Structure 1
Amino acid sequence: MERRSFLKKTGVGIAAGAVAAPAIAQSMPTLNWRLASSFPKSLDTIYGAAEVFANRVSAATGGKFQIRVFAGGEIVPAFSVMDAVKDATVEAGHTASYYFFGKDPTFAFDTAVPFGMNAREFNAWFMHGGGDKLLREFFGTYNIMNFPMGNTGAQMGGWFRKEIKSPADLKDLKVRVGGFAGKVLSKLGAVPQQIPGGDVYPSLEKGTIDAAEWIGPYDDEKLGFQKVAQYYYYPGWWEGGANLSLYINHDKWKALPDEYKAIVEAAAAEANVDMLAKYDAKNPDALKRLVANGAKLRPFPKSVMDACYKAALEVYAETSASNATFKNMYEAYSKFRDDQNLWHSVAEGNFDRYMQTRKR
């Protein structure tokens, strides 16, 4: 009798819960947002992160919160995403913040800076090292709420028509490279060009530029750079771990119900992990194919790396002297980076080096 009574009562409770969940969902608003990406649809990794995010938000809200993703140029130009979100032309965007280096060099810290952090270190800084507070204060001045939403990992140094044997070989070289790295290379005589991803191949093919960096083997192979430049250099010292960001118009963000805010944050975190995992899974085979098809893999000579490092420190000092916001961010960022380098050199760095030498 007691057992039947218990089952009856709990059965009622379960039934009530089953009714309550849809009722709660039905009480939430139906929203349709537009998200402008800076990337072409052909890149299923970097463009795809926005689709992973949008699909998760839809699934978690029973389809009540729909976010439609537009590729770079479809709704706004690739390099206009920040302004479009700031001005509420679109509710959200997915981009690399260093594209907006020209507006304020502080933007670069949200993506990558020369000789900066790798992907794990950036996530640690943002989530537990105070980076979120600093970056969100900065983005707040642009009416934007930002979330990490993807990372490429350490990038390649790019495709060159000629060998780079010394710093002198960079002089007068027209290089497609973004933001901060362009200022560093300028100190060595190179001529940086900022070109959207979809326009890089034709620029290389026509000889408008002499070299181009994009991301890494998987994406580079899809864009076909190996057909127009044979020397493939590494590492991309300006992008030890390039973070991509979800931008949300701050007013639109504040208007969201708390439940939707939690779902957005969780969906962005999932897309953040998924992008790096995709690159790590896909890059090895792509690199093997590129080399098998004639790409000449080359490390940047130490003399070039040292010259670029010296030039980067000069740019940091010059920019800090003229931009207090940048200086404050750089001091916090570099301290955290140095501590991370010290820690990683002890355990994981030694483990990785040993395993890499065993395979070779």
Structure 2
Amino acid sequence: MGSAFAFYLRQLAPHLSLLLLEEGGLPNEDGATLLAPGVWTAWGVPGDRLAQARWTRDQLETAFGNISFQTRPLIELFAQAGEDRVSSADALAPHPDALAMVDVSALPFARVDAGAATYRPGALALAAAQTAVKAGADLMLNARAHAVPDNEAGGSVVIERLSVTNTHQIVVHETHRLRAETLVLALGADGPHAAEHDLGVHTTHARAYRQTPRLNVPSRDDTPTLRAAGLTLRPQNGGFTLIPAVHHRDPHGYVPTGGHLTGVPTGLRRETLEDLVALMDALPPLGTGALGLGRSISDIPGAWLALPGGRADGLPLHQTLSGGVHLLLGGPHADTLGLVVAHDLA
């Protein structure tokens, strides 16, 4: 969302000077962007935000070049009948590879979002930042920035330029202080922490640690995205990336650790493992060696995810912290509404 903000600001206010500061690469390898599902769907979007979601979809399809945007149905599976639900066997029949994933006797009902799509959020972040730089924005990589209190309107940051030694130690070799009329904190799950500890501004926020294990079952370009009990199975790179539901915030000071399956240590945190075990009968491949378990937490990709408003279903937002200082937060719905929130702030 920070890269998207820069992209739109260069379009809307090309006369302004703009500096992008990034501690790592673009996108940051330690953030949630690279592990985001990249699934656009109108499901879960409030009625008064549907027009914004559709605008975001148009932007994803046309504004950023090759980000692997592809219309791909999303099929959500249920054990119980309900409004707008059809037979899961009928919904999955056109997709034999997806049908083979599901025990339709356990999940006999489905609803289909034929207008859903997938894309690569990491490619989007890179394309947006590169376009902003080509349009005149300045870029400083390998720079750690800390907001500092300022009595004037706008914001100040202390910038530490980083170097890496041949033993992979990070050292600081320059320190600068910069002022700007507008300062935007787009730090993902670290944004609220920076606002509170750097500026003394309290925000209503939370965060959760989400892992994205791999299911090594073949998928194709036309395989639909599946969802059951909050678990999303996203076809990617010839297999499936699993995006577990975020049920609640993780407590302050929580350190992710792996769980145990039949007494054997795994790299999946306990909460995620419990979700997958509960679905193994309904989605049989989860109970096979196709599921990547790892041996420690470092074996399974994961990142901290911001929960705007302190809620697991919180929508992306921008929040004014003080005169000229703003906070951008994405969260679980950033794939669908992140761009419009960044555009609104720009």
**TM-score range relative to shorter protein:** under 0.3
Question: Which structure has more strand as a fraction of its residues?
Answer: 2
Larger Rg belongs to: 1
| TM-score when normalising by structure 1 | 0.22
Question: Which structure has more helix as a fraction of its residues?
Answer: 1
| TM-score when normalising by structure 2 | 0.22
